[in-house]
Structures are given as C-alpha cells and as structure tokens.
Amino acid sequence: MDIKGNILMERYELGRLLGQGTFAKVYYARNLTTGQSVAIKVIDKEKVLRVGLINQIKREISVMKRVRHPNILQLYEVMATKTKIYFALEYAKGGELFDKVANGKLKEQIARKYFQQLINAVDICHSRGVYHRDLKPENLLLDENENLKVSDFGLSALAESKHQDGLLHTTCGTPAYVAPEVITRRGYDGDKADVWSCGVILYVLLAGYLPFHDSNLVEMYRKIGKSEFRFPNWFQPEVRKLILRILDPNPVNRITIPKIKENSWFRKGNVTKEPSSDKASGSCSTYLAESQDLMKPSNMNAFDIISLSPGFDLTALFEEPRQKTEARLTICRRASVIITKLEEIGKCLGMKVSKREAGLLKLEAMQEGKKGILSINAEIFELTPSFHLVEVKKSNGDTLEYQKVLNEGLRPGLQDVIWNSQGGEQEQQEAPQQQQDQKS
C-alpha cells in the first residue's frame, strides 16, 4: 500500500481535503522529515488514461520541473504507484485569488501588486519556453503572506510544440480569458496569448467583473474579437491606456512583457530595489550585493539531486521515449567562470548570448532555422560554491540543429571543465584533476 493510515510513502502525513475534481483530489500534508506544509495532489491514473489525459499530466510534470520562481507554485517531487500519481506541491495557504475578486474589486495598489507578480512569473515561464494558456484568477493562488503563485499548468505548451510556422494551434483556455487569435484557430504566439489573459485578469481585479461577458458564447467571442468593452468610471487614465495596449485584438500590435514592465503605472510601488543617490554611502554596496544575490545560481535540494539519478527518474512512468532536448553537465568551477565560458562559446558559435536572473543564460541563433530561431537555455545550479550543474535545454527551434550545437559546440567548448555529463550520448568525462592523477 502507498498510504498506510494517513502516511503517504513514509514521507508525508496527510491531513484535510483541500479540494477535488473529476480526476484528482488535493490534500493538506506535512513532510515528516522537515515539518514543512505541502499540498498533495492525488491523481487517479486509470481515469486519466481512460479519457486520454495522460499527456496533460506529462506536460504538467515537465513544465513544473522547468519553471521556478517565487510567484510560481513549486513542484517538490512526483511519486507514483500502479494506480496513483502523487504531486507534492507548495502549499498556498491563502487559497485562490478568485475568492478575493468574488467579493468585489480590489484597491488599485493591491491589484497592481498581484499584476506585477503575475507578469514577473509569466515572463520567467516564457524565458524557459513555457506558455501557460489558461491564466485566470482561479489558477492564481496566494500564500500566507498574500503573494501570488501561478498554478495549474495542465493546458500549458512548450516552445517545441510549435508547428513549422512557429505558432501554436491547439485551441484551449477559459473562454472569457482567451485571446482573439486563439479563437480564430489560425495559429497564435503563446506569449502574446498569455499577455492578453493577463490584461483580462488586471481588468477583473480592478473592476470586480469581466470585460467580455455574454450568455451567448458566439456574441462573447465577437466582443473579444473586436476587443469591445467599457471601462468603469473609477479606472484611472494611466491604467486605461495600459489595458487598451494589452487588449489589442491584433497580436502584432499588442504590448509585450518588457514594455509592460517599463510602463509608468506598472512600475508604481514596484518592490524591485534600485540604487538611490540620496541614501547613505553604504546603500549602493547593499544594492550591488542584493543584485548579485539575485543573479546567483539556484541551489539544488535533495529532491532535485536525487531526481537526476537514472535509478530514481520517474519520467518513464508517464512519458514515452523521445529524442532528448536537454543535457546536464557537472562542472568544478565557480559560477562566474562558467558564465564567462558559456559567453565565449556562444560568441564563437555566432549566437547572441543574454543573461537572465538566477544563473540563466539564453543563447539564440542569429538566423532562422528549419523551425524558427534556435534558442537554448543554459541554467546553472549550485551544488557547492565551486561545484555546479549546468542544465542545457532547447527552448525553441529544430531539435537536430540543437543537437549539433550541443555536441559540436557546447560540449567541446566546455570539455576542459566538465566533470561528467547526463542526458546526452557523450561518455562520462573525467575531471582535469583526475587526469593529472592518472598521469602521475
């Protein structure tokens, strides 16, 4: 038995039922080792297989492994038996944001805080080639400190799911929040569709009701297609302008996330700290330290490290074998040295290299390939201060082109610092120190 009494796999003590749907139940639980509160999502494997939803479960696991951010609900681990799948998730004590809006509109500063956190989370998803496709207040949770957590990635798509035209084609999402180009079924950019949904959410937070609503679904879709809605009189001019730019029915003209972040209304009260000339002399160094801390690679916990071992990899329980679009390299060097090395390799390969937060670098080809611009994420995780794991993933483009860059560019370029590699065809390499020991 996987559950004895109220103990799950000798790891979690199950408590009250938090919610349930057709295929899953969610329980409050406590980690027996750490005492940490978690939510355990219990999925009936037979039911999801019977109705063909196993791909949705696979996608959710894959996506939640890929995205980590303070405003994204964290997946701690996945467990499985012959009949059940268990997700150990971050516990969001504050419940759904929907429950707050159901009681009426929010104050502008509160709505702005949630919108800032939403945009930051969605930006991270897009940087990792993930498109949520079902953003709505019901899928936005709150922790005990009233911080937003994006959840429910069951309908999300990965960049590699794009067709040859570089667009997504699956029509999905909640009608009132879906972008007009998704409704037309001619293909759409996942990032632009998510931005539209964020705009609808902002309107709902400030108004207390939906911008597009009609008992006749066809009529509602007509309103969405023309972006036909009205502002309540309490909406300020600044936020009206921003929402109009987000809810532009033409995705080509729709405002992007970087532009949203530059918007004056969005930036008001933003928690992002910036240096100020009128602060004490020590404040600049404090700011620099904080900035460096934000750029530090993520630390890997025990679950992360164990999950990298082939013997503990649960992916085979849910996923079909396929050509890998990721590789892991362990390197005995400081993060700053690894970043410099990756930048040098990227330039030699003729690729544009850009830095992201939390030890993430993005390498992009200058020219379009078979399936659009090849884009590769290289994320650095800290095992010890001088020992790191670098996870390389294709976020866009052709898989064969990615494999060529990986095996003919990145691996040879990092050969002198690689300890070993996982997720690829290359044999394990010995560290330089080991090679010296053998020579002596």
Q: Active-site residue numbers? A: 134
Q: What is the largest CA-CA distance in the chain?
A: 80
Length of the chain: 440
- Beta bridge pairs of residue 411: none
Residue with token string 């993930």: 130
Burial of 439 (0-12, 13-18, 19+ CB in 10 A): exposed
